[in-house]
Chain A
């Protein structure tokens, strides 16, 4: 699916998330939330609400897993 690169967004790889929710606590725009569902390993993974991400990257540097979060900033 081709994403609109002018809109910042965050992508969470469900099976790499361990449900610590440090990203949820850290997000300044409160656009991340516990999903309420369980991934393959059994963790209540975090999810992006779908809008409101400003591409700040705070969640990326709060997340302990190397590949769980990808942040697409607004292209300059």
Chain B
């Protein structure tokens, strides 16, 4: 590649060789003769090279003819599931805010299977650049009707021509996207002739430049020729794009707020202890709470509580999460239950960590608290090696068969019922867990229960249950 301005040649944003799996040829793309994708690729590569952003550009390629864009662009590349490019681009951009994220999609990908993703990415004003190649047909799969196929157009799946009463009307994405508030730049361009190609080059560069300047969501719809799908020569296909597509999909700018656009950054929500407690209306109640966990030495806790609906499983799990928040730890809690409000199976996943938590799922718990028989049968096998299983021995007769875990049999229902509060049996399980592991002092659980239960008498009974369980554990 030459950097001589007097020479127009293969952009340095392309690989020198296009090595593709199972293909001998390394000098040409996989695109058919006359395909618009190649032309648009060249314009994007040129803009990326000119803007000096090649080393921080991440191209999100779709499913469709442009699925192999990663074989050509010497940038970061992610090839994603059908229609999901804007969703993946959202994640990439938020995880790497300094990168330039280009989402590249065709009409089947963006305007059919991926309609939800593009609309919502646009509506959130994600700081990304989207190139939408509209050639009015499914190219890769063999010329079937696309959402943008024109009325009367014959395709493999509309052999009599598309009919509005059967297949609806061609969907106009630029118009649709420009009804939303957040996008800063929406334009439809064409590759069908020389003046339009010149215009497209400038628009491609501007749409990427917008992102370099942090201006938010830019969307460029590119009317493009698919000679193979249209069953015409490349030159004839471009004539058809001009005579047909240009009348249905008018070329032009639909939104340009770039002059006024403020730089948009998606800030992470704070995980600062006081901010979290304040958001949850817990801050006032926590002023006299003294944290006791040494966060630097905390071991990740992945807890599953399981039983039947009505045992207080879910609220006990959330109590553990609240306790973790009071300690300034990171935590997640998700419930898993059937449609019944009482009865049925019920379990929850609780994670507590001193680091940010990626997924709230607890697939291999290090602690399992089982409140009834079926829960033990269902979850015994998923506990990690050297993990802990707490068995509510008031209800569960069965013994744990695994030898590589530590098992504690505690009559949780009995202790709670004796104190007149059977609903506290899962909190009793939680007390057993803290008394055994001491990851957070069990007295702190008393504090949370005291703060969260409005009826003083009930709070006192709960605290008595917690102490009784702790005594029971200490006596083992």
A16–B29 CA distance with the chains assembled, in angstroms = 9
In the complex, which residues of chain A have a beta carbon less than 8 angstroms from the beta carbon of B197?
A: 61-62
Q: How far is the CB of B416 from chain A (nearest CB, A)?
A: 72
Contact of B42 among A18, A22, A55, A66 (CB under 8 A): A66
In the complex, which residues of chain B have a beta carbon less than 8 angstroms from the beta carbon of A74?
A: 6
A10–B197 CA distance with the chains assembled, in angstroms = 19
- Assess whether A22 is in contact with B41, with CB atoms less than 8 Å apart: no
Chain B minimum-CB-distance residue to A40: B25
Known: A61-B198, A62-B39, A63-B39. Is A20-B8 also a contact (CB below 8 A)?
no
Q: How far is the CB of A66 from chain B (nearest CB, A)?
A: 5
Residues 11 to 41 of chain A near chain B (Cβ within 8 Å): 13, 15-16, 18-22, 25-26, 28, 41
Interface 0/1 of B2-23, CB less than 8 Å to A: 0000111111001000000000
Q: Decide yes or no whether B106 CB sits under 8 A from chain A.
A: no
In the complex, which residues of chain B have a beta carbon less than 8 angstroms from the beta carbon of A60?
A: 8, 42
Known: A15-B27, A19-B33, A20-B234. Is A65-B7 also a contact (CB below 8 A)?
no
In the complex, which residues of chain A have a beta carbon less than 8 angstroms from the beta carbon of B9?
A: 67, 70-71
Q: Decide yes or no whether B320 CB sits under 8 A from chain A.
A: no
- Assess whether B43 is in contact with A67, with CB atoms less than 8 Å apart: no
In the complex, which residues of chain B have a beta carbon less than 8 angstroms from the beta carbon of A5?
A: 6
- Assess whether A70 is in contact with B7, with CB atoms less than 8 Å apart: yes
Q: Decide yes or no whether B374 CB sits under 8 A from chain A.
A: no
Contact of A70 among B8, B35, B41 (CB under 8 A): B8
Q: How far is the CB of A75 from chain B (nearest CB, A)?
A: 5
- Assess whether A64 is in contact with B35, with CB atoms less than 8 Å apart: yes
Q: Decide yes or no whether B104 CB sits under 8 A from chain A.
A: no
Q: How far is the CB of B49 from chain A (nearest CB, A)?
A: 12
In the complex, which residues of chain A have a beta carbon less than 8 angstroms from the beta carbon of B33?
A: 18-20, 43, 64
Interface-central residue, A57, A65, A72, A75, by most chain B CB under 10 Å = A65
Q: Decide yes or no whether B279 CB sits under 8 A from chain A.
A: no
Chain B minimum-CB-distance residue to A72: B7
Q: Decide yes or no whether B281 CB sits under 8 A from chain A.
A: no
Known: A61-B43, A64-B29. Is A73-B7 also a contact (CB below 8 A)?
yes
Known: A61-B197, A66-B72, A70-B8. Is A18-B28 also a contact (CB below 8 A)?
yes
Q: 17 A–B contact pairs at CB < 8 A?
A: A15-B28, A19-B33, A20-B33, A20-B235, A28-B194, A55-B6, A60-B8, A61-B43, A62-B197, A63-B38, A63-B39, A64-B35, A66-B29, A67-B10, A68-B28, A71-B7, A74-B6
State the B residues within 8 Å of A (CB): 6-11, 14, 25, 27-29, 31-39, 41-43, 45, 72, 193-194, 197-198, 201, 227, 233-235, 238
Contact of B235 among A15, A22, A68, A69 (CB under 8 A): A22
A58–B234 CA distance with the chains assembled, in angstroms = 16
A55–B35 CA distance with the chains assembled, in angstroms = 24
Q: How far is the CB of B256 from chain A (nearest CB, A)?
A: 23
Q: How far is the CB of B231 from chain A (nearest CB, A)?
A: 15
In the complex, which residues of chain B have a beta carbon less than 8 angstroms from the beta carbon of A61?
A: 39, 42-43, 194, 197-198, 201
- Assess whether A20 is in contact with B34, with CB atoms less than 8 Å apart: yes
Known: A21-B234, A72-B7. Is A64-B31 also a contact (CB below 8 A)?
yes
- Assess whether B14 is in contact with A66, with CB atoms less than 8 Å apart: yes
A22–B10 CA distance with the chains assembled, in angstroms = 17
- Assess whether B39 is in contact with A64, with CB atoms less than 8 Å apart: yes
Chain A minimum-CB-distance residue to B6: A73
- Assess whether B194 is in contact with A58, with CB atoms less than 8 Å apart: yes
A13–B25 CA distance with the chains assembled, in angstroms = 14
A75–B2 CA distance with the chains assembled, in angstroms = 14
In the complex, which residues of chain A have a beta carbon less than 8 angstroms from the beta carbon of B8?
A: 57, 60, 69-71, 73
In the complex, which residues of chain A have a beta carbon less than 8 angstroms from the beta carbon of B42?
A: 60-61, 63-64, 66
A61-B39, A71-B8 given; 18 more Cβ-contact pairs under 8 Å: A22-B34, A22-B235, A41-B25, A43-B33, A60-B8, A60-B42, A61-B198, A62-B197, A63-B42, A64-B31, A64-B33, A65-B38, A66-B10, A66-B42, A66-B72, A68-B28, A70-B7, A76-B6
Nearest 7 CB-CB pairings of A with B: A64-B38, A20-B34, A18-B33, A20-B33, A67-B10, A20-B234, A71-B8
- Assess whether B6 is in contact with A65, with CB atoms less than 8 Å apart: no
Contact of B27 among A22, A26, A67 (CB under 8 A): A67
- Assess whether B235 is in contact with A16, with CB atoms less than 8 Å apart: no
Q: How far is the CB of A30 from chain B (nearest CB, A)?
A: 13
Interface-central residue, A15, A19, A60, by most chain B CB under 10 Å = A60
Chain A minimum-CB-distance residue to B39: A64
A63–B191 CA distance with the chains assembled, in angstroms = 11
Residues 37 to 62 of chain A near chain B (Cβ within 8 Å): 41, 43, 55, 57-58, 60-62
In the complex, which residues of chain B have a beta carbon less than 8 angstroms from the beta carbon of A22?
A: 34, 234-235, 238
- Assess whether B28 is in contact with A16, with CB atoms less than 8 Å apart: yes
A72–B29 CA distance with the chains assembled, in angstroms = 23
In the complex, which residues of chain A have a beta carbon less than 8 angstroms from the beta carbon of B36?
A: 64
A24–B37 CA distance with the chains assembled, in angstroms = 19
Contact of B45 among A16, A18, A25, A66 (CB under 8 A): A66
Q: How far is the CB of B285 from chain A (nearest CB, A)?
A: 64
